[in-house]
Structure 1
Amino acid sequence: MAETDILGWWGVPLAILGGAIRVGTPLLWVSLGETVTEKAGRINLGLEGTLLMGAMTAYAVTLATGQPWLGVFAAAWVGVALGLLHGALCSLPRVNDTALGIALMLAGSGLAFWLGKPLIQPGAPDLPALPLGDWSEHQAVRAALAINPLFVLGVGLAFATAWALGRTRFGLRLRVVGDSENAARAFGLSPAGYRIAATAFGGACAGVGGASLSLVYPGAWSEALSSGQGVMAVALVIFARWDPRRCILAGLLFGGASAISPALQALGYSQGYYLLAALPYVLTLALLIGLGRPGPGDGAPGELSLNR
């Protein structure tokens, strides 16, 4: 008897929970990094390219060394490099961060596709999961509770980032830079330096999110790997109201929406499969419309271009 028959409809929420963690982990990392970037008053729309470059780098390094964690580390540093590039170029006069972000998204995606051509067929080792479901005799339960270790690290980093932004000198100064550039200069701060650092952190997080895609779920490299998750991060940051801790909920919400269709299909309900597969994107559009234009009262930094 199939596992889905044994569990019945209880298998649906269980599958959605497991899928929310698997699919939501990259979204958590990318939105967390973009939250810090936007807290400094800058939007990085190039995260889709960074996500793909991180995924390709992690897969290539893991394939060459057999060490998945080394692949994650390499992906983070590729993200740092792309974030530093974005931050440095945006600091130049008459450079628009939105236009530059789109250009880097296209450049990063194209470079990842070109460098990753030889990686489509070979199989690299996956990042080992945390087996929290070994207590159960059901394979479906064990699979759903095989937790991505990057999700656990992402949750910890979200709380650490929220603490750093609210309680440390660097975090408070970064928020001043994001809220008012004139006030930051009056305090003797360098807005460009803080924004470059924040963009580099955002790039590192996007790189780790890409590593989660290629080393955990779906655990392979292909050109259609990200499905627009890097672009979706901007909507997730607005939904999270620029609070790193809420990025956890945002990632799980969108990850769960993505997992509904496969969960129902596993139980034999295939009608409306493609409609349900589009649910995360419909949800993104609905949230952007429903939340309206955010302002400083919603947590949006005053120097963001969407507030000016």
Structure 2
Amino acid sequence: MSDEAGLFTVLMAMFAGAIRVSTPFLFVSLGETLTEKSGRINLGLEGTLVFGAMSGYATSYHTGSPWLGVMVAGLCGACFGALHGYLCKLPKVNDIAIGIAMMLFGTGLAFFFGKSYIQPQAPRLPSISLGAWSDNPALRQALEINPLFILGFILAVVLWWGLKNTRWGLIVRTTGDSAPAALALGINVNQVRLLATMAGGFFAGIGGSFLSLYYPGSWTEGLSSGQGLMAVALVIFARWNPLACFAAALLFGAAGALGPALQSIGISRGYHFFNAAPYILTLLIMIASSSPKRSLKGAPGELSITK
């Protein structure tokens, strides 16, 4: 294989991998952006992601409808978000501690109910082929795009526009920046945060269903590999901007696809190191963006990490 052909293959594999791998990051980070914009942190989205993957896969297996599985996964995520939101409004409760507890609860519940779904094969989500015009198999494979990725991009644009230009966006931002100001305006702070946390959980559940119903496309207990927690870090890197979350999710997705892309042209030495690229990238990004002047630039004022 020539150097040019090898480089093209790697780039196409990373492009395809960026789209596939970034989709769960995208949904979780958009959900967490909305939650944090209301003034609350939800570290429990890793558990929501895993339970969404299990519940979506189980629903698809029993009903034969992967899209119904996506919806059930989202509703389960909204239930987890509602529980998190209810607990966080109790007096003297820390949202970070509750998030860690919800993460353990969600993963444990998914492992308990999901044991019987490790072997069976459930119907998977379809993909949209945008590369049928090409004779290059690498390009055709790279342009196999799942509708959830397109939906995630649309959601990022709508969320970015809505937070800046709509009444509900103003209410969410006011609640997240100053609870006293929101109360003075007659806004029910607890209700806004509860709804925002539920919506964030709904998005995370959908992200989990993508893992089990499209890529990798099966249910196993190690399916998430910490993607929910990395997506929360991604929100800080993106400065609570939904469009920046989309770009950062693609970056994380490309990093996650680096190992398989190199393997596709026969480079297998250091494979496990390249598989660790997303985790290394998370660490480097957090270090690079942790200067005192800009580490919390753009952060909602009511977040516990800003106080």
Task: Write the deviation string for residues 28-71 of structure 1: whole angstroms up to 9, x where unpaired.
Answer: 00000000000001000000100011100110111111111111
Paired amino acid for 2:132: D
C-alpha distance in 2 between matches for 1:139 and 1:214: 25
Q: Decide whether the 8 Å contact of 2:59 with 2:68 is kept in 1.
A: yes
C-alpha distance in 2 between matches for 1:6 and 1:40: 49
Kindly tell me: are residues 246 and 281 of structure 1, through their superposed partners in 2, closer, same or farther at Cα, counting changes over 3 Å?
Answer: same
C-alpha distance in 1 between matches for 2:111 and 2:169: 36
Aligned to 1:274: 272
Aligned to 2:301: 302
Q: Secondary structure at the match of 1:137?
A: coil
Kindly tell me: are residues 151 and 108 of structure 1, through their superposed partners in 2, closer, same or farther at Cα, counting changes over 3 Å?
Answer: same
1:163 shift after superposition: 1.2
Q: Secondary structure at the match of 1:116?
A: helix
Q: Secondary structure at the match of 2:121?
A: coil
Task: Write the deviation string for residues 127-173 of structure 1: whole angstroms up to 9, x where unpaired.
Answer: 00010111122332222110011000000001101111111111101
Match of 1:111 among 109, 112, 119: 109
C-alpha distance in 1 between matches for 2:188 and 2:173: 12
Aligned to 1:77: 75
C-alpha distance in 2 between matches for 1:68 and 1:131: 18
Kindly tell me: are residues 6 and 250 of structure 1, through their superposed partners in 2, closer, same or farther at Cα, counting changes over 3 Å?
Answer: closer
Paired amino acid for 1:302: G
Paired amino acid for 1:282: I
1:298 shift after superposition: 2.1
Matches within 5 A, 1:54-93: 54-93=52-91
Match of 1:151 among 146, 149, 154: 149
C-alpha distance in 2 between matches for 1:19 and 1:211: 17
TM-score for the superposition, normalised by structure 1: 0.96
Q: Decide whether the 8 Å contact of 1:86 with 1:100 is kept in 2.
A: yes
Aligned to 1:44: 42
Q: Secondary structure at the match of 1:245?
A: helix
1:9 shift after superposition: 2.0
Task: Write the deviation string for residues 221-264 of structure 1: whole angstroms up to 9, x where unpaired.
Answer: 00000000011111100111101111110110000001011100
Q: Decide whether the 8 Å contact of 2:289 with 2:295 is kept in 1.
A: no
Matches within 5 A, 1:25-36: 25-36=23-34
Query: Which stretch has the larger CA shift, 256-265 or 137-146?
Result: 137-146
Paired amino acid for 1:303: E
1:272 shift after superposition: 1.2
Q: Decide whether the 8 Å contact of 1:27 with 1:229 is kept in 2.
A: yes
1:266 shift after superposition: 1.0
**% of aligned pairs identical?**
57
C-alpha distance in 2 between matches for 1:30 and 1:156: 15
Kindly tell me: are residues 259 and 133 of structure 1, through their superposed partners in 2, closer, same or farther at Cα, counting changes over 3 Å?
Answer: same
1:296 shift after superposition: 9.4
Aligned length: 306
Match of 1:197 among 195, 198, 203: 195
Task: Write the deviation string for residues 162-201 of structure 1: whole angstroms up to 9, x where unpaired.
Answer: 1111111111011001001111111111111110011001
Paired amino acid for 1:60: A
Alignment gaps of 5+ in structure 2: none
Q: Secondary structure at the match of 1:298?
A: coil
Aligned to 2:123: 125
Q: Decide whether the 8 Å contact of 1:294 with 1:307 is kept in 2.
A: no
Task: Write the deviation string for residues 79-118 of structure 1: whole angstroms up to 9, x where unpaired.
Answer: 1110011001100101110000000100100000110001
Match of 2:234 among 236, 259, 262: 236
Q: Decide whether the 8 Å contact of 2:296 with 2:306 is kept in 1.
A: no
TM-score for the superposition, normalised by structure 2: 0.96
> Is it true that 1:221 corresponds to 2:219 in the alignment?
yes
1:294 shift after superposition: 7.2
> Is it true that 1:97 corresponds to 2:95 in the alignment?
yes
Q: Decide whether the 8 Å contact of 1:296 with 1:302 is kept in 2.
A: no
C-alpha distance in 1 between matches for 2:238 and 2:7: 31
Alignment gaps of 5+ in structure 1: none
Kindly tell me: are residues 259 and 294 of structure 1, through their superposed partners in 2, closer, same or farther at Cα, counting changes over 3 Å?
Answer: farther
Paired amino acid for 1:74: V
C-alpha distance in 2 between matches for 1:81 and 1:294: 37
Kindly tell me: are residues 197 and 176 of structure 1, through their superposed partners in 2, closer, same or farther at Cα, counting changes over 3 Å?
Answer: same
Task: Write the deviation string for residues 262-284 of structure 1: whole angstroms up to 9, x where unpaired.
Answer: 10011001111111111111110
C-alpha distance in 2 between matches for 1:242 and 1:119: 36
Kindly tell me: are residues 192 and 236 of structure 1, through their superposed partners in 2, closer, same or farther at Cα, counting changes over 3 Å?
Answer: same
- CA root-mean-square deviation: 1.6
